[in-house]
Amino acid sequence: MYNGEYEIANAHIKPCEEQWKVSTSDLDYQMHFGKPTIVERVKNDERPILPQYRSIAQIPKRADPNDKYDIAAIVLFVEDKPRRIVREQGHVICVREITVIDHSTEQPLIISAWNDLAEDECDLLMKKTEQLPVVGFTALKVSPHKGFSMTTTMSTTIQHAAVGERPRSLEDWVANHNIKLCEIQARILTLKGLFAVHQTSTIAALRMKKAQTTLQDERITFNCEVSDGTGTLPITVFTADAEKIFQALAEDIFRMKHSENLTRFEAMKSKLQTTPFSIKVGPNTTLSMNNVLQWVLKKIIQTAEPPLNSPTA
């Protein structure tokens, strides 16, 4: 067991689903903990179980999938309720995102809390977020979700009153940087739509944004039109969005391209140069992976008119 030896009673042993195996060498059985399960530490194991807290910056972005990490961090946001995911054979699991930060990084970190941790533990954390609590998380694993994030494991505990040198130093840092942390928290709440005011931006304003002031989940809407005059932005557009922009079905665009129907394309080009439309962009995963800000197309918000029906041959 993690950081100690324990006796476990009233736990069910059942065949292990392939999706839960870390490697092919794992046994074909899994232990399921329920409310009747009792876990007690072995009495002759006198070793103290102390979390080995690290800073967020010390966690490798591409860690071994078997490695687990303890972190102490400031909780900025907790989803208001768990999201329920239906897996194979109707099995339902719960997940809830916790957003944290510490003094080693400008970029908040998302922790995905699963199953029991997504219920009462997260409810308690959510009630404390206004106070910017310093909380300990043990036995977390690195996840590629949203570029770089962390996820709870079967061994994870949430230490609501974390103790030790690192939690104490973080509490001092919170006291000295309360305004800065409140500003970051307000941006997260705005991003999550809790008191969002949607504003249209320009390409020039978009280019002014820095990695340190941009959140991984951020989305920005702006008008892409020649008359804007603030700059240009190259984007890659795929099937569904291409149909919205060109106001034509994908098969018609494909047919025009391969038949070299330049007349029709020129008409589309002229229309695009004179008709404004709105798109939504957001940072790609290089933001949380490498602290590098690059923008990708997320959605075509609106066009001036509905898509055209397929033209007759």
| pLDDT score for 307 | 43
Assess whether the region 53-188 and the region 198-302 belong to the same CATH fold.
yes
CATH architecture of 53-188: Beta Barrel (2.40)
Closest CA to 185 of 253, 231, 149, 131: 131
Looking at every residue in the chain, the average pLDDT score rounds to 78
- pLDDT for 170 equals 94
Question: Can you say whether residue 147 is alpha, beta or left, with left for phi > 0 and alpha for psi between -120 and 50 degrees?
Answer: left
Res 234: pLDDT = 63
Dig out the tokens for 115 from the structure. 């199953």
Helix residue spans in the chain (DSSP H): 120-128, 165-176, 178-191, 203-208, 239-246, 250-259, 262-274, 286-290
Q: What is the pLDDT of residue 200?
A: 66
Under 8 Å CB-to-CB from 61, ≥6 apart: which residues? 142, 148, 289, 290
State residue 46's pLDDT score.
60
Positions in the chain whose pLDDT score sits under 70: 1-4, 18-25, 41, 43-49, 193-201, 212-213, 216-229, 231-239, 250-251, 254, 256-262, 301-313
Say what the pLDDT of residue 98 is.
95
Domain 198-302 fold is OB fold (Dihydrolipoamide Acetyltransferase, E2P) (2.40.50)
pLDDT digits (tens, 9 = 90+) for 217-238: 666 655 444 355 676 666 656 6
- Residue 169's pLDDT is 94
String of b and e for 253-281 (b: at least 16 CB within 10 Å)? Answer: bebbeeeeeeebeeeeeeebeeeebebeb
Where do the domains of the chain lie?
A: 6-41, 53-188, 198-302
